[in-house]
Amino acid sequence: MGAGFRASMNWLHTWAGVVVGAVLFAIFWMGTLSVFDREIDRWMMPETRLAPVAEPASLDRIREVAQALAGDAPSLFISLPTERQPVLGIGFRKDGEFVSRNVDPATATLLPERGTLGGTGFIFPFHFSLNIKLWSIGYWLVGLAAMAMLALLVSGVIVHVKIFADFFTLRTDKKAPRVALDLHNVTGVLGLPFHFMITLSGLIIFVLVYFPNAWQGTFPDRAGYFKEAFGSYSRPKANQPGDPMSLDALSAEAVRLWGGGTPLYLRLWHTGDANAVVEFRRSYEDRVTMNTDTLYLDAATGAVLSRQTQQPIMTAQRFLSGLHFIQFRHWTLRWIYFALGLSGCVLIATGFLFWLESRRKRHEKQGLKGLGVVEGLTIGATTGIILATLSFFIANKLLPPGMAERQSYEAWAFYLLWAAGFAHGWIRRGQAWAEQSWAIAAAALCAPVLNALITGDHLARSLSKGQWAVAGMDLALLALAAIAALTARKLQRRPATTSRAMPGRAQGSTRGSTREGRQHA
């Protein structure tokens, strides 16, 4: 395990990074935003910016509202409001499609159709599936990228011998490759426990997606395994009209059975039938472990039909999932996750930058073309996706409410801008960095202005009304605008480093960078 092993790890780190870096950045960027997905929802769905209510409308009233909309749907879904999501949700299947609507918990009235996928419907699923549904390709790509991330972390630690010294090293006065490498090392080493934990736990969430046949040697069939592991309950319809108990009384019974635990959502099976069942899923707001505690109550009598809890190892799996999902109430930790997620983005971007800057001179001398391809890829993958995200937010404000297929146009605004970000990166090369940074600054400034103009919730108002989600999103956008503008200015003052620049001007002395360049060649 001498130099040969380290050389192999160096090769693995370099090329795995270049090949999957773009996908990894997208996953980390979307994951970082997903930390605040419900807050993004509030910003994107102004009709849901409701003040929290102390006494929400009765569940029986909500059932009537849902029933009126759902007709004879086989099951109804009701999610209860939380601190981060002040609306009730109802859902059901109609003509093969899942319909979901928001309900004002104070008045039990339907809110207008969302017309947007929002943070929870677009950004969050993008994080784990790239929103590619065909043959679950998205899941597998994300899984492969996550395994590559773990391999990158391990090989990165092996490559960097001076790991302790790297901890304290950030030389901003040095040339670009050195700064990129220092920043890569600082975020990589400082964030190592987080990056390893978040990547591994992300894989563990989908343990049965990635190892779909793990039951093969233990159970005769998949259904047998699922029954033991998750044990859902169902019973056939009686085909006779039933006399259901009050949902509020059933909910109180669930709380009593859980010793004070509150429900997160409920599902009504066979509504109106004598064999109707109400399923209660326990909230995990107060703990890391995302329990799967489920109660099935007889809708007519309130008798417990089935009660599920998890066994120890499954609880460990739910704990690791909870570490990743952060559905618990803890604002400090939520911000720390956000900051560490951003540090992951910096880690990936600086890895790319170091690859580019340490090769630029040599590749120019040898007339190699690969650098331009990777530079365009890096630009589209980093500044491009940030710009695309902002275009998604701006489209959300500019598209008229009530427009048909409104959410698809929002998604298109994202994908078109993202594609344009890559194209621009490949065409403009080095100049694209500053140009896209200016575009980010302008777009990030534009979004809160549009929010103020269209919804009326400008910063002074959202702050004074305690609309922290809306104010936080506006402030984050303004901070992004400031950072992007500063970056763009700094980039434009720097001597040009592209192949189009005069050969003599490119990068000046590279005495400090040749050593690292050789290491990573």
Rule CB under 8 A: which residues touch another protein?
Answer: 3-12, 144, 147, 150-151, 154-155, 161, 200, 203-204, 207-208, 210-211, 213-219, 225, 228-229, 311-314, 316-317, 320, 515, 518-519, 521
Nearer to another protein, 217 or 260 (CB): 217
Nearer to another protein, 82 or 514 (CB): 514
> Quick check: helix, strand or coil at residue 295?
strand
Nearer to another protein, 54 or 313 (CB): 313
Strand (E) or helix (H) holding 264: strand 263-269
> Quick check: helix, strand or coil at residue 233?
coil
Cβ 368 to another protein shortest distance, Å? 16
| CA proximity to 388, closest of 114, 18, 22, 21 | 22
Nearer to another protein, 124 or 215 (CB): 215
Nearer to another protein, 213 or 366 (CB): 213
Cβ 146 to another protein shortest distance, Å? 9
Cβ 175 to another protein shortest distance, Å? 19
Query: For residue 439, what are the CA distances in angstroms to 33, 152, 345?
Result: 20, 31, 19
Cβ 199 to another protein shortest distance, Å? 9
Dihedral sign from CA coordinates of 209, 392, 484, 462? negative
**φ and ψ of 266, to 5 deg:** -135, 155
Nearer to another protein, 217 or 402 (CB): 217
Nearer to another protein, 229 or 274 (CB): 229
Cβ 321 to another protein shortest distance, Å? 11
Cβ 512 to another protein shortest distance, Å? 15
DSSP state of 111: P
Question: How far is residue 397's CA from residue 18's CA, in Å, rounded to a whole number?
Answer: 36
Cβ 183 to another protein shortest distance, Å? 20
Nearer to another protein, 99 or 208 (CB): 208
| CA proximity to 275, closest of 236, 249, 232, 231 | 236
CB contact at 8 A, 243 and 200: no
Strand (E) or helix (H) holding 294: strand 294-298
Nearer to another protein, 360 or 424 (CB): 360
Cβ 278 to another protein shortest distance, Å? 26
Question: How far is residue 31's CA from residue 128's CA, in Å, rounded to a whole number?
Answer: 8
CB contact at 8 A, 378 and 349: yes
Order of strands across the sheet that contains 88-94: 109-110, 97-104, 88-94, 75-79, 263-269, 277-282, 294-298, 304-308
Question: How far is residue 280's CA from residue 257's CA, in Å, rounded to a whole number?
Answer: 11
Cβ 101 to another protein shortest distance, Å? 35
